A and B are shown apart, each in its own frame.
Chain A
């Protein structure tokens, strides 16, 4: 059975630097093992709950994370401050930050 489509748009804004990091990952374009790692990290998430969490009042110089995750037929948007980032989302965010930094 073919795997579900999985695409992620990522943006990190804010921080004292104010410099944005962005990347966009289509798992089908990744080497198989790398793609599976990303799929596993997304599998762990409660996307519905995450997308409904309102972003809190801004805190000075903390990062703001924006993700759009397109998985199969559904699309989930998440916008969270660094301090509100749930533990299970952190590995995915760290991975996307690394990808956004590669030249």
Chain B
């Protein structure tokens, strides 16, 4: 091994940001970027309209009820990639079928179910698109694959290498994290780069953690506020991937290094790796959520979770929103839900102040 092991920044070309291409790209690139940008806003407007319609139907006079019947029903399909990388793989467990004894398949099936139920029971959200989108997940992706992701269409889970990481279906909050990426893409469409990217990541940690807390029936005080505690392998010195209560303390390991997450804007990490540190700086909004949830007490999904969810759905929130814009959206949501002068508003403003975000 060479002894001057530098860690230079090779990502000299930042990931493409849509509005920049819309201004400077060639004709084809510009068209694609504009279409993606406008799709985001027109879809959200259409969805707002649909959501309003559905509320009218639910609350209104008896109707034929066809919409009603399709709401609140999970439609899951679990696929097996058989350690290849072709998606989605072969169907191994469609909705309503029994376990065939593969633990990763069953964890994915149950985890998607718990996540669907969380969004439905807590926010009356009908799946990723709030329109009953079928939930698809592939397990046994790749060989010793140390990851899970949402690819815009479905969720994908690796088996881990068995040393650093166990199978990626073993943490319910990680399953919730992946499904929440779909929700964020559908609502605010936060760009996956620097601050909006870290917000995108934080949304997934917040809702992933809430899915687990609701499943376990834990209050904010009882919850561990850890992400991915179950999937760390036996050789790793650490307790989880991230800690929302104490960012930067989840692990300190010879191979993986030390948890780099900040919990305050003073320690914001400037990097070009990890799409501009999206899994690093997410510690800041993560910690703000933890502070708000524990200040309010009781079940975190009831008030803190509702505020965050409504802020994510705020049509004013732009795809390039930074932390402060999101913090302001939580204030707007708090005011609309609980009034401008209550404990909720105090908790929200104090939470953001405490991580160095001044609204």
A residues lining the B interface (CB < 8 Å): 7, 9, 11, 13-26, 29, 54-64, 66-68, 77-79, 81, 100-103
- B10: chain A residues at CB < 8 Å are 9, 11, 66-68, 77-79
Question: Which residue of chain B lies nearest to A19 when distances are taken between CB atoms in the complex?
Answer: B256
A20, chain B: closest CB distance, angstroms = 6
A58 to B15, CA, bound (A): 6
Tally A-B pairs: CB < 8 A: 140
Q: Determine how close the nearest CB of chain A comes to the CB of B32; give it in whole angstroms.
A: 11
Residue ID in chain B nearest A30 by CB atoms: B1
- Would you mind naming 7 contact pairs between A and B with Cβ atoms under 8 Å apart? A7-B2, A14-B278, A15-B146, A55-B16, A58-B192, A63-B147, A64-B275
Query: Do A66 and B11 form a contact, CB below 8 Å, given A17-B146, A57-B17?
Result: yes
Q: Is the CB of A18 within 8 A of B1?
A: no
Asked whether, in the complex, the Cβ of A17 is within 8 Å of the Cβ of B5, the reply is: no
Nearest Cβ on chain A to B179's Cβ, whole angstroms: 11
Q: How far is B258's CA from A19's CA once the two chains are assembled, in angstroms? A: 9
Across-interface contacts of B276 in A (CB, < 8 A): 58
- Known A-B contacts A16-B241, A79-B10; the reply to A25 vs B2 at CB < 8 A is yes
Segment of B112-120, B132-140, B159-167, B335-343 in the binding face: B159-167
Contacts of B278 in A (CB 8 A): 14, 18, 58
- The residue that B13 contacts in the complex, of A21, A55, A61, A100, with Cβ under 8 A, is A55
Q: Is the CB of A56 within 8 A of B15?
A: yes
Q: Tell me the complex Cα distance, A17–B18, Å.
A: 26
Given A19-B256, A54-B16, A55-B15, A25 contacting B1 (CB threshold 8 A): yes
The 5 closest A-B pairs by CB, nearest first: A18-B279, A58-B192, A58-B275, A13-B273, A66-B10
Shortest CB-to-CB span from A71 to chain B, Å, is 14
Q: CB-CB < 8 A to B228: which residues of A?
A: 16-17
- The smallest C-beta distance from B241 to any residue of chain A, in angstroms, reads 5
Q: Mark B187-226, 1 if CB is under 8 A from A, else 0.
A: 0000111000100110010000000000000000000000
Question: Which residues B229-266 have CB closer than 8 A to chain A?
Answer: 235, 241-242, 251, 254-257
In this assembly, does B46 line the interface, its C-beta being within 8 Å of a C-beta of chain A?
no
Does B11 contact A79, Cβ atoms closer than 8 Å? Answer: yes
* Cβ contacts under 8 Å, A60 to chain B: 149-150, 181, 185, 192, 200, 204
> Which of B18, B147, B242, B257 has the largest count of A CB atoms less than 10 A from its CB?
B147
Tell me the chain B residues, 101-134 only, with Cβ under 8 Å from chain A: none
Q: Are the CB atoms of B16 and A61 closer together than 8 Å? A: no
Q: Contacts of B5 on A, CB cut-off 8 Å?
A: 9, 22-24
In the bound complex, residues from chain B placing their C-beta under 8 Å from that of A25 are 1-2
Check if A9 sits within 8 Å of B16, measured CB to CB: no
Contacting pair B13 A79 (CB below 8 A):
yes
Q: Are B241 and A17 closer than 8 Å at their CB atoms?
A: yes
Decide: A68 and B8 in contact? CB cutoff 8 A.
yes
Chain A residues with Cβ below 8 Å from B16 are: 54-57
> Shortest Cβ distance from A80 into chain B, in angstroms?
9
Please, how many angstroms separate the alpha-carbon atoms of A102 and B174 in the complex?
25
A61 with B147, Cβ < 8 A, contacts A16-B178, A17-B165, A55-B13 known? yes
CB-CB nearest in chain B for A8: B2
Contact among A9, A54, A62, A63 with B8 in the assembled complex (CB-CB below 8 Å): A9
Query: Using Cβ atoms and an 8 Å threshold, which residues of chain B touch A11?
Result: 7, 10, 273
Most chain B CB within 10 A, of A7, A21, A57, A68, is at A57
- B44 on the A face (CB < 8 A): no
CB of A32, distance to nearest CB on chain B (Å)? 16
Least distance between A8 CB and chain B CB atoms (Å):
9
Cross-chain contact B15 with A61 (CB below 8 angstroms): no
Shortest CB-to-CB span from A72 to chain B, Å, is: 16
